[in-house]
Amino acid sequence: MKPIGNEKSKKSRLEMIAAGEKVDAVIHEELLNCEPAVEVQHFNLWYGKKQALHEISMSIPRGKVTALIGPSGCGKSTLLRSVNRMNDLIDGLSIRGDILLSGESIFAPGVDVIELRKRMGMVFQKPNPFPMSIFENVVYPLRIDGQRDRKTLNSVCEQSLRGAALWNEVHERLSESGLGLSGGQQQRLCIARAIASDPEVLLLDEPCSALDPLATGKIEDLINDLKGRYTVLIVTHNMQQAARVSDYTAFMYLGRLIEFGVTSQMFQKPYLKETEDYVTGRFG
Amino acid sequence: MSNMTTSATSQEQTEQNKQPRRRALQSGFSLLARAEPQIWFTGGMLAVCLAMVVSLMALILASGLPTFWPQPVDWLALRDGTLDAGEAKATSVVTPSKESTETENESGISFYYRTENFDLTKTHYRWFKPKDLLTSGIVRIPQTTLIERFEWGHLYCIPLRIHEPLEANEADKTSIDSFAAMDELLKFLSQLPSFSSGDDALGEAFTKGTQRTRELLDRAKSDAIHRSISQAGSQNVQVRAAGEQAWRPKSELELSAPLEAARAIVTAPEDIRTRVAKVLPIVRSQRKRLDQLKRELSRLDVRISKLRIAVRQAELDTASVLPIQLDGAHYLLEQRNQLKQISAAKTQVLSVLKDSNDAKLFEDLFSEFEQKQAPAELASIEKQLSDWRKPLGVSPQPLRDAVTNYEAGYSEVISAKQPIQKQITSLQAELERGELIVCVPNDARRIEDVSKDDLLQTASGKIAQPVIDLLNAMDTPVTEDSGNVLFASDALTLVSFSDNLATNHILSVSDKLNFLAEHPVGYHELVRVLPVNELTVGGKLSVYFSRWAEFLFEEPREANTLGGIFPAIWGTIVMTLIMTIAVVPFGVMAALYLREYTNGGTLVAIIRISINNLAGVPSIVYGVFGFSFFCMTIGSFIDGGPKGADIDVWPSATWYLVLWSTVAIGTAAFLFSFFSSGPFHAQTKLKHGLARAAFALWLVCLMAAIALIAKSPFFDGFYAAQLPNPTFGKGGLLWASLTLALLTLPVVIVATEEALAAVPNSLREGSLACGASKWQTIRRIVLPHARPGILTGAILAMARGAGEVAPLMLVGALPNAPELPMDSEFPFFHGSRNFMHLGYQIYSLGFQSQNSEAAKPMVFTCTLLLILIVATLNVAAVFLRTRLRRRFQGNQF
């Protein structure tokens, strides 16, 4: 466990933030040696004049599941959406700092944002299958690349649906509308779509918040399966879920990264009292 | 203090709240328990709206649907001693007014009748006041017949008999035809210069030949009549001797005498009916054939005018002036054509004459002519033609070619026209062969001094017993002027009880009985002959539907008050479709940009408000704009280039200068926008400036491009040869469609924007997160999802456009446009043609026509039809939309 920065300070982090002081994150030792898939470097983000992210620096380990937790409005989703530059769509956005994907800056002037997004899959809070057949939903990323070969499409569709643990349930009705599936199935369909283009990083933005416990369980099992093949970054409000599925957990508060470490330690013996308070539900 | 008070009050409240609530349920009748007043209120408002809509529809249906229903025809005997007949349309109760002195006569029921017989009475409708009518003066005579005529509309009458010329056999027809042709030919030859200046021997032979031809022709005609009389057998035949006017029964004339005409007469009612039933389809097909032939003729005329335009075009192309009159050759070419037909006419006559003396006569006449005169005649014509052509020698080659083409084309057309014209003449003669003689009310004269006894005497033996009884039982009517007068009403009763034969007789025996008049109706005038008062329900239904079919699929006649309105239906549909095709892509593109690419801001708000305001501009303003912009500016530009549209052109040096600077500006604009692209967060001030500059440059570029086209000195228009007759520089289908497209643009834009706004953002994000570009997202996700909404916009636009009339008056709709704007002729779609439109038809029939009373039923029928078309388009689109929508909804539970 190696805290960085003003660890000596006796003031609580929350008080420091309230006072507008600079707060450095506590990053656990185990994380320093791992190979990062995504590196966030001194990243700041403003919506107009309002700063949403403050000096975030973290390395997301390759092939692991990293959970982002924190109270609502702490910037988890903003950070997640910065990774595949979905925030580009928002007017009045400005940034400072950088994010590297496999060592390359994603904000470099020559980066094609379309290509960048193809290297990342993203799943949203609410299932958003497209109004087309299940098959077309899954192969959508290939379609937009102009792939027309039926064989390739079929095999990718099967692989992705199997990868999303949905194949057995839907393989007989691939030509039916994706909107006809249940909520949990729809979300797994979205995961299948996200992994269809074989991305490096999978970004999950509270993927279970709109689902019932049974469907949530299935998705969690799926995330466990995906571990190792993809680098997964998941935003969640559900502590148990973070504890169950993730290898590493990052705790954010008011746009700052507070503590980032191995999940088991974060939940059982965090370095900071604030983290402990949050994971045990005493504040937040 | 206040704090204390508040706490005290709250304490009281809590204490109160601790008490169990004791409000008993109201028992008994509570109005509020049934429904809230708001429900009654809103429901009532809905009911009012519904009532208005339903009554409008009911008015249109009630006035439109019965138009074609055959109604019984009444005969009316009037107090002034005249008669009238018609279909009852309305009644109104007349109450005596206080000022009126003759109150007694005024009270009663007034009747409104459709009296028609327009060629005889000059009225279509007529009010009959109580004082006009005789007591029990309305009689429904069973054998009353309604004849729908091709011209002049309805005729209410009683058919009396049929006159039909006897049919000649084929051999006779051929000989008559060939002698007639020969006669005509000789007449033509006599006008040739070589005959007037020719030698006497030839002249003598020619006169002799002409006389002989006339004799032969007369004999052939007379022979044909004799033969056809003997063929007709026992038929009731009347004949007329040569030079006589009167017809006589064939027994009264010696059949060996030369006859001029013969006709068969049919009088028995059943025979008349069967004969008419047999004739009607023949008349219909002959009329159709006649139309076809006339259309062929007009096609030939179009060919000539095209050749003429080609000559004019060659003139323009070579910048030279035609040194001769094109029309100068017409007479020569026609003569040459006739001369070439001489030998054909000779062979025809000789084949009829076989080897008689006459054959020798004609042989001699023509051999002389063919050997000497004809070649000389032809040579002189050729010489005149070459004289006519001579000034062309200095003209450029294309112009000479065009004139040669014109010459060849003209000769071809006149030789093609001849047989068609001949067919038309014979068909018309055929159509006018027979006639139906009917009796109609003669409202111009009174009946006087015909006593009951007179009538009984003259008609004795021909009148059925019940009529005689009735006449005997009748009291002598009393009138102001005379004591012993047979009133029209009595005569009507008489007619209604006797059969046709008796009616014929009554008419023929007494000139004094002139409340009825004979009127001939030629076969060519017949469209339908209906015994309206004897029709069964099935018969009425079949008439009803056949009238609807005529209305829907045939062309109008008699100033649109009769016939069909197929061209208007077709024009409406074609115009609406073209308008939709024009407006939907524009509207959808504009809405896409507004909704998907812009990020709000003042400019966008202004644009949006302006678009919404466009919807409030009166439609006639669009008409004015369409006329001045589309027709007078763009249309004239297409017709005659900048000169046609009154635009000053640039000299070519200036034009090239502008061209190259436009290219330079365009390149700069492209580069600017290329370097200014990128996400917002990466934008520097420089990039921002670049983007603005790029936009401005694009605008300049667009303006310059428009100016380049408008001010081009190299463009002289596509239809300059037709000028001063405009092709596109006037109202037409294309401009009307575009004007309406402009009118309906706001509807489409607003509807599309709403549809786009309704597409969930999560879908866009999902697609973008998959790595789709913005356009891919729009094309694959947003547009398909918004398609039902866009279709709704298109439906609204179609409904609005189809019902719009005001702008059409200025941009191309006509009350009568014979040519369809879209037909089987290349290039199938004729955007420059005028067209007919149902809405405009309603306006012109109801408010512009000379007798709007007669057109009133048609107005409602047109309205009904227009509503039906709009409803059909709507239902089709709604159906399509539902199907699309179902695709996006899935079966969620």
Confidence class for position B150, pLDDT limits 50, 70, 90: confident
Task: Give Cα A232 distance to the centre of its chain.
Answer: 6
8 Å CB contact of B769 and A86:
yes
What's the confidence (pLDDT) of residue B96?
Answer: 64
Residue B393, both tokens: 């020698």
Average confidence (pLDDT) over B885-889: 66
Say which range, A101-115, B609-623, B692-706, has the weakest mean pLDDT: A101-115
B159 touches B269 (CB < 8 A): yes
Binned at pLDDT 50, 70 and 90, residue B722 comes out as confident
The DSSP output letter for B760 is -
- Whether pLDDT at B136 is above 70: no
Q: Which residues from A are below 8 Å from B678, CB to CB?
A: 109
Chain B from 590 to 619: CB within 8 A of any A CB: 599
> Cβ separation of A130 and B769 shorter than 8 Å?
no
CB contact under 8 A, A179 and B762: no
Q: What are B766-783's pLDDT values in tens digits?
A: 999 988 888 999 999 999
How much is the average pLDDT of A210-216?
A: 83
Q: Is B768 on the interface with A (CB under 8 A)?
A: yes
Residue B770: its chain A contacts at CB < 8 A? 117-118, 121, 140-141, 144, 193-194, 197
More confident residue, B500 or B227: B227
pLDDT category of residue B97 using cuts at 50, 70 and 90: low
A110 touches chain B (CB under 8 A): no
Q: Please provide the distance, in angstroms rounded to a whole number, between the alpha carbons at the two ends of chain A.
A: 24
Interface membership of A190 toward B (CB under 8 Å): yes
The structure tokens listed for B602 are 């003042």
Cβ contacts of B760 on chain A, cutoff 8 Å? 128
SS3 B300: helix
**Distance (Å) from the C-alpha of residue B584 to the closest C-alpha of chain A?**
23
b/e map B664-702, b = 16+ CB within 10 Å:
ebbebbeebbeebeeebbbeeeebeebbeebeebbebbe
> Is residue B683 very low, low, confident or very high in pLDDT (cuts 50, 70, 90)?
low
- B98 has pLDDT over 80: no
Asked whether residue B485 carries a pLDDT value surpassing 70, the answer given is no
Pairing of strands B125-128, B108-114: antiparallel
- Tokens in use for A106? 């994603």
Among the residues of B676-782, which ranges form H helices?
685-710, 733-757, 761-769, 774-777
Residue with structure tokens 């500016």?
B633
Instruction: Verify whether the Cβ–Cβ distance A144 to B765 is below 8 Å.
Output: no
- Which pTM was predicted? 0.81
DSSP code, position B141? -
Per-residue pLDDT tens over the stretch A248-274: 999 998 888 888 989 988 888 888 888
Q: Which helix (H) or strand (E) holds B659?
A: helix B652-675
Rounded to whole angstroms, how far apart are CA atoms A22 and A41? 16
Is there a contact between A86 and B681 if contact means CB atoms under 8 Å apart? no
Residue B1 has pLDDT above 50, yes or no: no
- Kindly give the interhelix angle for B342-353 and B357-368, rounded to the nearest 10 degrees: 170
A56-65, B185-194, B811-820 — most confident range: A56-65
Stretch B820-847: mean pLDDT, rounded? 84
- Contact of A103 with chain B, judged by CB distance below 8 Å, is answered with no
Q: CA-nearest residue of chain A to B675?
A: A109
Mutate to test the interface with A, among B604, B674, B681 (most CBs of A within 10 A): B681
Closest-approach residue (CA) in chain B for A123: B766
- Mean pLDDT value of segment A97-113: 86
ipTM score here? 0.90
Q: Which of B171-175, B290-294, B430-434 has the highest average model confidence (pLDDT)?
A: B290-294
- Say if residues A197 and B771 touch (Cβ distance below 8 Å): yes
Q: Which of A88, A90, A180 sits opposite B892 (nearest CB)?
A: A180
What's at B367, amino acid-wise? S
Judge whether residue B457 has pLDDT over 70. Answer: no
For chain B, the distance separating the N- and C-terminal CA atoms, rounded to the nearest angstrom, is: 59
The tokens for B603 are 């400019």
B84, B221, B293, B450 from B434: Cα distances, Å: 27, 18, 22, 33
Q: B781, A130: Cβ pair inside 8 Å?
A: yes
Residue with tokens 């994010």: A99
H-helix or E-strand spanning residue A163: helix A150-163
- Which one of A45, A47, A122, A189 would you mutate to disrupt binding with B, by most B Cβ within 10 Å of its Cβ? A122
Stated as kind and residue range, the H or E segment containing B347 is helix B342-353
- Could you give the CA distance from residue A27 to residue A252 in angstroms, rounded to a whole number? 12
A182: nearest CA partner in chain B: B892
> B234-255: b or e for each residue (b if 16 or more CB lie within 10 Å)?
eeebbbbbeeeeebeebeebee
Tell which wins on pLDDT, B528 or B480. Answer: B528
Selecting from B681, B772, B890 the residue whose C-beta is nearest the C-beta of A179 gives B890
Q: What is the pLDDT of residue B92?
A: 84
How does pLDDT run across B333-354, given as a tens digit for each residue?
888 887 777 777 777 777 777 7
pLDDT-based confidence at B892, cuts 50/70/90? Answer: very low
Mutation site, A83, A99, A117, A191, interface B, largest B CB count within 10 A: A117
Angstroms from A188 CA to nearest CA on chain B:
14
Q: Which residues contact A249 (CB under 8 A, 6 or more apart)?
A: A66, A67, A68, A69, A242, A243, A260, A261, A262, A263, A266, A267
Q: How buried is residue A110: exposed, middle or buried, by Cβ count under 10 Å (0-12/13-18/19+)?
A: exposed
B770 touches chain A (CB under 8 A): yes
Cα B557 from Cα B563, distance rounded (Å): 5
Give the pLDDT score at B504: 53
Q: What is the mean pLDDT of residues B698-721?
A: 89
Q: Which of B599, B767, B891 faces A180 most closely, judged by CB atoms?
A: B891
- DSSP-derived letter for residue A155 is H
Is the model's pLDDT at B101 over the cut of 60?
Answer: no
The CA distance from A279 to A70, in Å, is 9
Look at residue B85 in the predicted model and tell me its pLDDT: 86
Backbone torsions φ then ψ of B731, nearest 5 degrees: -65, 150
What is the per-residue DSSP string for B78-120?
Answer: ETTS-EEEEEEEEEEEEPPPSS-S-HHHH-EEEEEEE---HHH
Q: Which chain B residue has the Cα nearest residue A118?
A: B771
Q: What is the pLDDT of residues B11-58, one digit of tens each?
A: 555 555 666 677 776 667 776 776 777 888 899 999 999 999 999 999
